[in-house]
Structure 1
Amino acid sequence: MKRLPTLLACTLLASVDAAAASRGSSTFRYKPGPDEERPVIIDATIGPQGSDFAMRLKFDRMPFGEECKQRCANVTLFLDTDASAQSGLLLPTKGPENGADLAVVIQGVREYKRQDAPAELNLRVKVRQLGSDTQSADGGELLADLNHRQDPERVQTDGTTVYLLIDATSALLPSAKKVRIIYHPAGGKAVQATIGGMLGDSSGRGVQIFKRGNWGRAPDAEPRKPRANPSGDNG
């Protein structure tokens, strides 16, 4: 896998909860257990950048590729964009994800473009908007289906670190001064943190992703490629 040069300088100026603040600039950190089968996020820096949520996500090992084979990353980050349980996901049972308005699903997948060609190893990112009538993380409206090859202006990787820009311009997406972040690894305890929201004083001045390139494009990003419909993946 081609290693990209240093792409970003991420500085979190948005306000975070006391627990996150005590750990420095990270929005949250997670210590994986010995039984984790798939790569997991161990350090995340998240904040508003213009009309996007910018993310720097560090995994404990390569989130996609030959190293993880059939057990690559399959994680979901939930964003409660107005920090309110009155809107967003409504699970049948109480859980920290209730109230989340966005689900960002990050998967390491094998995609087969042609039957006579080897699988293409991709980092795939799906973004779903979760309305109040949504009762599972797989529901809601699919806002984006991205991968690091075809969408380098929004998804890039550098070793075990993933950089994302998540569009937050949907007219139906609630906004507030605070955003609640929820990360709930499979079999683990949910990790939560609070950052400044789109209506906060730090919007557009917090985390900076791809800032050395043109707006919306990272330095050294390849031109956009025609999008093909994958015939299958292992996600």
Structure 2
Amino acid sequence: MKRLPTLLACTLLASVDASAAGRGSSTFRYKPTPDEERPVIIDATIGPQGSDFAMRLKFDRMPFGDECKQRCANVTLFLDTDASAQSGLHLPTKGPENGADLAVVIQGVREYKRQDAPAELNLRVKVRQLGSDANSADGGELLADLNHRQDPERVQTDGTTVYLLIDATSALLPSAKKVRVIYHPSGGKPVQATISGMLGDSSGRGVQIFKHGSGNWGRAPNADPK
């Protein structure tokens, strides 16, 4: 068997390492303050996957369940899907959330379906499309109300990590080559990042979750192929 020249071998190895690092790089990171009462996102990787936005979100502790009791996760991620302040959310005051077209609300909840039964502990995900008439994250049209039990093809959890697929096929949702991501923890400073949009060159080749087979980055456990 012929050996590759040393320089070529090093070049190929460097290319593989750079590619792997690119796939695994985070969209943003956040260092929680000591007085955070609820679980917060500390590491997020977000990108287009087909007609969805795929998300891998790592929390600093369990976002739902008995561990967080009554103080479970209640976070909102904003996506400005055309990276333009002209469309989307218009808050009464200035803020990085202005221009956001999607709000993804992630909550750890206790749901009592029967009085004689214990509460069901769920991770709930609400997705709202924010038009120009929306002046809060609660405004706009509710596109999806999901949880990890009933919607495993869209929501899965693995310890403190949450995997999401957010449908971006709404005809009224603006698209562009770039998307602005905003995360504003309660009491903390907002975090912003820019990712490829649905019209970007890397659409469909970035984050990959809910896939079977070896070599797929960030695969959620027990997920059916999409």
Q: TM-score range by the shorter chain?
A: 0.7 to 0.9
- For 1:168 and 1:7, locate their aligned partners in 2 and report how far apart those are by CA, in whole Å: 44
Higher helix content, 1 or 2? 2
In the TM superposition, residue 5 of structure 1 has moved relative to its aligned partner by: 40
| Farther off after superposition, 23-32 or 51-60 | 23-32
- For 1:209 and 1:4, locate their aligned partners in 2 and report how far apart those are by CA, in whole Å: 34
Contact 1:42 1:59 in 2 (8 A): yes
SS of 1:16 mapped into structure 2: helix
Contact 1:7 1:219 in 2 (8 A): no
TM-score with structure 2 setting the length? 0.85
In the TM superposition, residue 211 of structure 1 has moved relative to its aligned partner by: 1.4
- For 2:18 and 2:145, locate their aligned partners in 1 and report how far apart those are by CA, in whole Å: 34
Shift of the 4–214 alpha-carbon distance from structure 1 to 2, 3 Å rule, reads farther
In the TM superposition, residue 218 of structure 1 has moved relative to its aligned partner by: 6.3
Contact 1:13 1:206 in 2 (8 A): no
1:48-72: per-residue Cα shift (whole Å, max 9, x none)?
Answer: 0000000000000000000000000
Moved over 2 A (4+): 1-24, 213-222
Shift of the 214–93 alpha-carbon distance from structure 1 to 2, 3 Å rule, reads same
Shift of the 162–181 alpha-carbon distance from structure 1 to 2, 3 Å rule, reads same
Contact 1:20 1:28 in 2 (8 A): no
Contact 1:11 1:208 in 2 (8 A): no
In the TM superposition, residue 136 of structure 1 has moved relative to its aligned partner by: 0.5
In the TM superposition, residue 15 of structure 1 has moved relative to its aligned partner by: 17
In the TM superposition, residue 105 of structure 1 has moved relative to its aligned partner by: 0.1
Which structure has the larger Rg over C-alpha atoms?
2
Please report the RMSD computed on the Cα atoms of aligned residues, expressed in angstroms: 9.0
Q: Which runs of 5+ in 2 are unaligned?
A: none
Q: Give % identity.
A: 94
In the TM superposition, residue 220 of structure 1 has moved relative to its aligned partner by: 2.8
| Farther off after superposition, 70-79 or 205-214 | 205-214
1:10-60: per-residue Cα shift (whole Å, max 9, x none)?
Answer: 999999999999997000000000000000000000000000000000000
Shift of the 12–196 alpha-carbon distance from structure 1 to 2, 3 Å rule, reads farther
1:86-120: per-residue Cα shift (whole Å, max 9, x none)?
Answer: 00000000100000000000000000111111000
Contact 1:12 1:26 in 2 (8 A): no
| Farther off after superposition, 20-29 or 130-139 | 20-29
SS of 2:20 mapped into structure 1: helix
| Farther off after superposition, 21-30 or 101-110 | 21-30
- For 2:118 and 2:14, locate their aligned partners in 1 and report how far apart those are by CA, in whole Å: 44
- For 2:3 and 2:221, locate their aligned partners in 1 and report how far apart those are by CA, in whole Å: 13
| Farther off after superposition, 11-20 or 109-118 | 11-20
Equivalences for 1:221-232 in 2 at 5 Å? 221=223
In the TM superposition, residue 124 of structure 1 has moved relative to its aligned partner by: 0.2
- For 2:40 and 2:5, locate their aligned partners in 1 and report how far apart those are by CA, in whole Å: 23
| Farther off after superposition, 7-16 or 205-214 | 7-16
SS of 2:23 mapped into structure 1: coil
Contact 1:153 1:216 in 2 (8 A): no
Q: Which runs of 5+ in 1 are unaligned?
A: 223-235
- For 2:115 and 2:4, locate their aligned partners in 1 and report how far apart those are by CA, in whole Å: 30
Structure ranking higher on relative contact order (CA contacts 8 Å, 6+ apart): 1
TM-score with structure 1 setting the length? 0.82
